[in-house]
Amino acid sequence: MSVPSKTAEYFMAGMDGIHNLTYRESPLSLPKANEVLVKIHAVSLNYRDIAFATGTYPGAVTGIVPCSDMAGEVVATGIDVQNWKKGDRVTSSFCLDHIAGDITDVIRATALGSPIDGVLTQYRNFPAHALVKIPDYMTFEQASTLACAALTAWSSLRGPVPLKGGDTVLVEGTGGVSIFALQFASAMGATVIVTSSSDEKVKLAKQLGATHTINYKTHPNWDQELLKLTNGRGVDHVIEIGGAGTLLKAIASTRMVGWLHNIGFLAGEDDMGNLPLELLKRGVSYRAILIGSRLQFEDMNRLLEARQIQPVIDKVFPFDQALQAYEHLASQKHVGKVVIKIAN
């Protein structure tokens, strides 16, 4: 195919709500020497995209193309690119320059969807070093879910003290990161306890490998229920998505000298109490998870390939219904990922 001269895309015209998602057409440049032009087939949404649209995420920038997670195919390469060719199926790192090691402020400045333009567009140029091969068995829609949600879950469980078979993990919720954490932990031989807001959601969690489930609507003191399930010990690892609204219960659910991996703030604000004291009393190590590097992404894909793990997609929306996709995610009725199909 010939290289197009323009791309259709969405941008955020304001920061006071998802209604600011606006369609436009923009000129498209040829890839530079070390760049790769990708035709984007699918984009998946994250709660971060809602937070940016509503101005509640630190560092949100007005007027940029949103979203960080995509899958597509290479349509052109710069003259110095040797490791990618036309037709290759690819996704990209969340932060374009996070190749290996710890993240830095400089690397974080290359995060897609803010502070730089994201991927809710038909075509985009990427640095060749930012791209990652899609697992062969996955569709574009499935592969679009990996860059943020899957890699965040993977980075949580493969941290300084990696999850091992026989460990017990608490996974809060049934959104994108949570479902991947459930699937990874189950594949690694862990006992997985999942909390969610409805019997329907916890039933699906059971089908995906959860050992135990707790409906936190019917069991508001879910930390006490969890301690019963673990004979008072608590869990080795917590995937914490609620933030202030759930953090104290999450700490109470963690075993002495366990690990709490914080990846979100869905539950909003609440009384945090004396947080340092609560952590100290149980010797809990608290980690804030900032996605992961390209090398971690490639490591994760090896497990995905080996176990043929199927990403859970709640619903796929066409490109011209991008706003409806945002609305569906904001409703928090989904299980797994919400995807926008870009290419026909």
Q: Over the stretch 242-299, which tens digit does the pLDDT of each residue have?
A: 766 788 999 999 999 999 999 976 545 555 667 888 899 999 999 999 999 999 999 9
Q: Does residue 183 lie in a domain region? A: yes
Q: Does residue 14 lie in a domain region? A: yes
Amino acid letter at 259? Answer: W
The verdict on 22 and 101 lying in the same domain is: yes
Mean pLDDT of the chain: 94
The CA-based angle 42-144-130, given to 5 degrees, is: 105
Rounded to a whole number of angstroms, the CA Rg of the chain reads: 20
How high is the pLDDT of residue 344? 72
How high is the pLDDT of residue 267? 46
What is d(CA 234, CA 108) in angstroms, rounded to the nearest whole number?
34
**Residues of the domain holding 80:** 6-145+311-341
Sign of the alpha-carbon dihedral angle for 276, 281, 285, 288:
negative
The verdict on 331 and 230 lying in the same domain is: no
Instruction: Look at residues 320, 325, 323 and name the one whose alpha carbon lies nearest to residue 339.
Output: 325
Distance (Å) of CA 154 to CA 16, 194, 295, 298, 329: 32, 17, 12, 11, 22
**What are the residues facing 194 on neighbouring strands?**
171, 213
Mean pLDDT along residues 320-331: 97
The verdict on 172 and 55 lying in the same domain is: no
What is d(CA 226, CA 104) in angstroms, rounded to the nearest whole number?
36
* Total of domains in the chain: 2
pLDDT at 147 over 80: yes
CATH number at residue 315: 3.90.180.10
The verdict on 272 and 315 lying in the same domain is: no
How high is the pLDDT of residue 266? 53
The verdict on 176 and 117 lying in the same domain is: no
What is d(CA 142, CA 44) in angstroms, rounded to the nearest whole number?
9
What is d(CA 275, CA 282) in angstroms, rounded to the nearest whole number?
11
CATH number at residue 171: 3.40.50.720
What is d(CA 144, CA 41) in angstroms, rounded to the nearest whole number?
9
How high is the pLDDT of residue 269? 53
* 208, 179 Cβ separation under 8 angstroms: yes
Give the three-state DSSP class for 121.
Answer: strand
**Residue 277 or 171, more confident:** 171
The verdict on 232 and 165 lying in the same domain is: yes
How would DSSP label each residue in 154-213? Answer: HHHHTSSS---TT-EEEEE-SSHHHHHHHHHHHHTT-EEEEEESSHHHHHHHHHTT-SEE
Instruction: Look at residues 36, 230, 2 and name the one whose alpha carbon lies nearest to residue 124.
Output: 36
